[in-house]
Structure 1
Amino acid sequence: MTTQVRTNGKLPPKHAIDELRRVLNAAGGSAAEILLPQDAAYEATVKDVWNGDVVGIRPLMFIRCTNTHDVVHAVKFARQHNLDLTVAAGRHGVRCFKEGALCIDLCKMRGVHVDPIAMTATVAGGARNGDLDHACQLYNVGTPAGTNSDTGVGGLTLGGGWGWMARSRGMTIDNVLQAEIVLADGTVAVASETSNPDLFYAVRGAGHNYGVITSLTFRVHPVPVCVAGPIVYPIAKAEEVLMIWLPASLAIPRKLGVGALLRPAPRGSFCMLHPVYLGDSQSEAEALIKPFRTIAGKPLVDQVQLRPYRELQRYADDQMPKGARYYQKSLLVSGLTKEALQVCIDWFKRAPQGPDKNCSMELLPFDGAIRDKSADAMAFVHRVADHWVLLGGKYTSPSAKDEVAAWVNGYYQALAPWTVGDMTNSPGSTDASGSIEKTLQRNFERLSEIKAKYDPQDVFCNGTVHVPPKRTARL
């Protein structure tokens, strides 16, 4: 078995592109578009990314698909002309574009259908979290899916996915019931517990290696009461706050999760707790959150209150707006100690300062229902983690990027003793302490075998974590 050799940077002949246009429109009603570098819409599209640091990467061409039929022909076109390819939906991933590659763009595939009787939500491949939340709020339901309304549901899900419901309802992938996927040969497969179960296993945690997801069906859950908000203390109290927060946050009922964050501000850096209650009773929420509201005396700010769930889901929109430049890494950690928390505080205090940069560290709960699944139930393996650590910085100049990157990478290395891995769509998931084998661990061999079955020519090879097809020995 040999891997197909793909070429970059050279457009297929005009007659081939014209024929693709004809095929895409053959079904009638399709609004699919082909964008080439000379098109005005191409220039706007290459800049339409969440992380401004990706701007400047110029794909060979875009195929903006509107349905599964379009995706099938986009994949076949790439194969026919030996083109490298990527897939873009929410455009939060830094691998959504690649220089000289064909980009299958799902930005027009944003439909969501909620069935309140079956308690399911089916989303198209290009839907954003905001699309899902908008449809779900009509029925007061939701599923664990991110903290930024602009994030693509598909990309979030394929690597694992975290949301505020995670402690009570598990990861995003734990709530997937079915996936429709266009495979490397252009066939359309349905993956579920009863249909192509091996593919279903693989897409839940390493899905970008196996095809283009054109729809996902999720289990949704009631969201009757949402109580949440920041509790802010001065950075001088960070040690006191975190030392009490850590054991307390692991001992509370699953319907409450409490994250911790260290962040700079114009009037001084701060330590923030962010409790989120998703349950049945506002009075119960108040009682469970109360100990965190005075964890180190009177806080500077306490904005815990009853909130619409959809507002909670937009939590990160203002702090991390689309189009800014970011350098980020994340890691899953287990067994944090007093020493580990001190490392977190000390490294935060080393963060580069200045008007052209802003750095933060966040610890999000990763226990509870996430641990209910076994490590070999699906591709994602890290069911022993306690917290998900997000390290990142926003910057406006090249020199600031260098400073932010050095700080993030140093911080990342300092937490290595407590690191167990990461999700496969997270920046840094294959860096340093996160090799492919460590990220996927004991599931790697099986995933490689599944890859050989569904994508033996390794067409889908541009994800953050690449699973190559298992090679058979030659006699």
Structure 2
Amino acid sequence: MGGTAVETLRESLRGEVLGPEDAGYDEARTVYNAMIDRRPAVIARCADVTDVRAVVRHARASGMDLTVRGGGHSGGGLCVADGALMLDLSGMRWVRVDPEARTALVGGGSRLGDLDHEAHGFGLGIPAGVMSATGVGGLTLGGGHGHLTRAYGLTIDSLVAADVVLADGSFVTASADEHPDLFWALRGGGGNFGVVTSFRFALHPVDTVGLAVTLWEPEHIGAVLRWYREFLPAAPETLNGFFATLAVPPAPPFPEEIHGKRMCGVVWCHTGTADEDELAKAFAMVGDPAPPAFHFATPIPYPGIQAMFDELIPKGLQWYWRGDFFDRITEGAIDAHRTFLEALPTDLSTMHLYPVDGAAHRLGPMDTAWAYRDAVWSGVIGGISAEPSDADRIRDWAVGYWDALHPHSMGGAYVNFLGADEPPDRVRATYRGHYDRLADVKRTYDPDNVFHHNQNVRPAQG
């Protein structure tokens, strides 16, 4: 990108424009996953919708490759590409709550922690992720699940409207009444259709919740999973709990004698009660499959449970992940979990099974672009390390784990858990029968596939 073109873009924006020689460029190009090291030609840090429109139009006029960065949390680093024009929404990081209407208007560059903090002031929240550093935009467009999913559904189930800059630089609002086809596609179809500059969400009552963590020794993993697969889907929707294989973090509340030990466990969130005595009764069942090696329960403000992993797995680590949906936990899957727990390559690497049943099953399969309303768990395998020299080791472990589990899956994955190096048929499998409809919407709103740095749905032909 020539210097004159850079200056033209600078003159068009209120936000900052950075080239490779500018101070702050290296910080601005980095993303959550340190395995991603790419150098865009220019970074446009948009301050408002007019900036976004100008950047999209500039990309079209100049023929530049365009990427869109929200929170920069994409495991595959899809928001940054070598030689591209990065449209950075981080300057549009704001949240406005209407407590009477129980809605929140959220800027496209906001993070979950921003939304959690502001909504919590009014005793409200939405189901969205398990880390406060995650971008609202990317998580929502992929569908979104978290600690409140069994109680309140997917993140997209709370989406009321979205303001979108389209591939030609025009601006529309998508909702059930305006551009309903686009609104359908945005709810799970990823970043294929435009730049969402703000989201409007319906909020739900949530204040202090019951947090619990239960860990069992590895030899009990079969008994625990057989119990968990029956217990949780039948439990009240106020109880959420994701299953994990992990190494015990060297941090409170875990006692020093189990730090670093390989274990299996469940991280629970109870929205039905935060009373300590009631929590003790509610979690008396954790001894049913086997005696826990560790169990801890406490009331916690909802933003606290959302932020509990932030310091354990901060920005700047090596990441490689793969995912799949599951409607059952088979004996073969249990064998795979046992094998790869024993082979855990680093103390940070982990596997999570997030529940996506309960309230998430209330919408029909055709209501949104999320195609797996019949899934019970959304699984992710994360190979994680602070050391760049571990990159191959964590990748090999994650891919081997996925290869062993995939035959026991439903065939597709949560789009935000797809790796950047997976074949195109994985995207089609993720959208099942919705893929062709998404391709039709893509043809209407982005016929030239301007927005292709994502888990891409190509425009329908003809």
TM-score (norm 1): 0.90
Partners of 1:448 and 1:51 in 2: CA distance? 29
Secondary structure in structure 2 of the residue aligned to 1:449:
helix
**Conserved in 1, the CA contact under 8 Å of 2:190 and 2:415?**
no
Give 2:170's aligned residue. 187
Contact persistence 2:89–2:109 (CA under 8 A): yes
User: 2:253 maps to what in 1?
Assistant: none
Q: Corresponding residue for 1:27? A: none
Alignment counterpart, residue 404 of structure 1, candidates 391, 394, 399: 394
Q: By how many angstroms is 1:448 displaced? A: 0.6
For 2:287 and 2:123, the matched residues in 1 are separated by 28
CA gap 1:294/1:184 in 2 versus in 1, 3 angstroms:
same
Letter in 2 for 1:447: L
| Alignment match of 1:450 (pick from 417, 437, 441) | 441
Residue in 1 that maps onto 2:201: 218
- Once the two structures are overlaid, the 10-residue window that deviates more, 360-369 or 283-292, is 283-292
Report the CA distance between 1:280 and its aligned residue. 5.0
**Are positions 1:333 and 2:326 aligned together?**
yes
Residue in structure 1 matched with residue 42 of structure 2 by the alignment: 61
Task: Tell me the SS of whatever aligns to 1:303.
Answer: strand
Unaligned runs of 5+ in 1: 1-10, 25-29
Q: Which of 8, 23, 26 does residue 12 from structure 2 map onto? A: 23
User: 8 Å contact 2:221–2:338 — kept in the other structure?
Assistant: yes
Find the counterpart in structure 2 of residue 50 from structure 1.
Answer: 32
Correspondence list, 1:7-156, <5 A = 11-14=1-4, 16-24=5-13, 30=14, 32-47=15-30, 49-54=31-36, 56-93=37-74, 94-156=77-139
The answer on whether the counterparts of 1:275 and 1:289 sit within 8 Å (CA) in structure 2 is: no
Q: Is the 8 A contact 1:123 1:217 kept in 2?
A: yes
* C-alpha separation in 1, matches of 2:41 and 2:11: 20
Alignment partner, residue 273 of structure 1: 266
Q: Report the Cα offset of residue 436 of structure 1.
A: 2.1
- Give, in whole Å, the separation in 2 of the partners of 1:304 and 1:429: 37
Instruction: Report what 2:295 is aligned to.
Output: 302
1:292 is aligned to 2:275: no
Among candidates 213, 216, 230, match of residue 213 of structure 2 = 230
**Counterparts in 2 of 1:303 and 1:151: CA distance versus 1, 3 Å:** same
Of residues 148, 161, 167, the one that matches 2:150 is 167
Q: Which residue of 1 aligns with 2:428?
A: 437
TM-score by length of 2: 0.93
User: Which residue is equivalent to 2:456?
Assistant: 466
Q: Render the CA deviation track for 1:295-331: whole Å, top value 9, x for unaligned.
A: 412x332221111111011132133211111111122
Aligned to 1:362: 352
- Compare 277-286 and 123-132 and name the one that shifted more: 277-286
Q: Any idea what SS the aligned residue of 2:132 has?
A: coil
For residue 110 of structure 1, give the secondary structure of its aligned residue in structure 2.
coil
221-230 or 262-271, larger mean C-alpha shift: 262-271
Instruction: Say whether the 8 Å CA contact 1:334–1:418 is kept in structure 2.
Output: no
Query: Does structure 1 residue 176 correspond to structure 2 residue 169?
Result: no
2:447 maps to amino acid: P
Q: Is the 8 A contact 2:143 2:155 kept in 1?
A: yes
For 1:190-269, list aligned pairs within 5 A: 190-265=173-248, 266-269=259-262
- The alpha carbon displacement at 1:255 in A equals 0.5
Assess if the C-alpha contact under 8 Å between 1:258 and 1:365 holds in 2. yes
Q: What letter corresponds to residue 125 of structure 1 in structure 2?
A: G
Q: Which residue of 1 aligns with 2:408?
A: 418
Rounded Cα–Cα distance in structure 2 between residues aligned with 1:209 and 1:89: 14
CA shift for structure 1 position 389: 1.3
SS of match in other structure, 1:69: helix
The answer on 1:375 being equivalent to 2:365 is yes
1:231–1:293 contact (8 Å) kept in structure 2: no
Residue by residue, what CA displacement relative to the aligned partner does 1:334-373 show, whole Å, maximum 9, x if unpaired? 12123322221122222335xxx64222222121111111
Displacement, 1:432?
6.2
Offset of 1:395 from its aligned partner?
2.0
Secondary structure of residue in 1 paired with 2:216: strand
In the TM superposition, what is the alpha-carbon distance from 1:12 to its structure 2 partner?
Answer: 3.7
Show CA shifts across 1:196-245 (max 9, x none).
00000111111301110100011110014400121122222222222222
Q: Percent identity?
A: 34
Deviations 1:55-108 (A, max 9, x none): x20011000001101100010011110000101121111111011100000111
2:104 and 2:21 mapped to 1: Cα distance? Answer: 39
Shift of 1:293: 4.9
Alignment RMSD, CA only?
1.8
Could you tell me how far 1:271 is from its partner in structure 2? 1.6
Please state whether the residue corresponding to 2:442 is helix, strand or coil: helix
**Unpaired stretches in structure 2, ≥5 consecutive residues:** 249-258
* CA shift for structure 1 position 433: 10
Cα distance between partner residues in 1 of 2:181 and 2:147: 29
Q: How far apart are the structure 2 equivalents of 1:430 and 1:280?
A: 43
1:430: Cα distance to partner?
7.7
CA contact (8 A) 1:224 1:279 kept: no
Paired AA for residue 370 in structure 2? F
Q: In structure 2, the residue corresponding to 1:307 is in which secondary structure?
A: strand
* DSSP-derived class of the 1:207 partner: coil
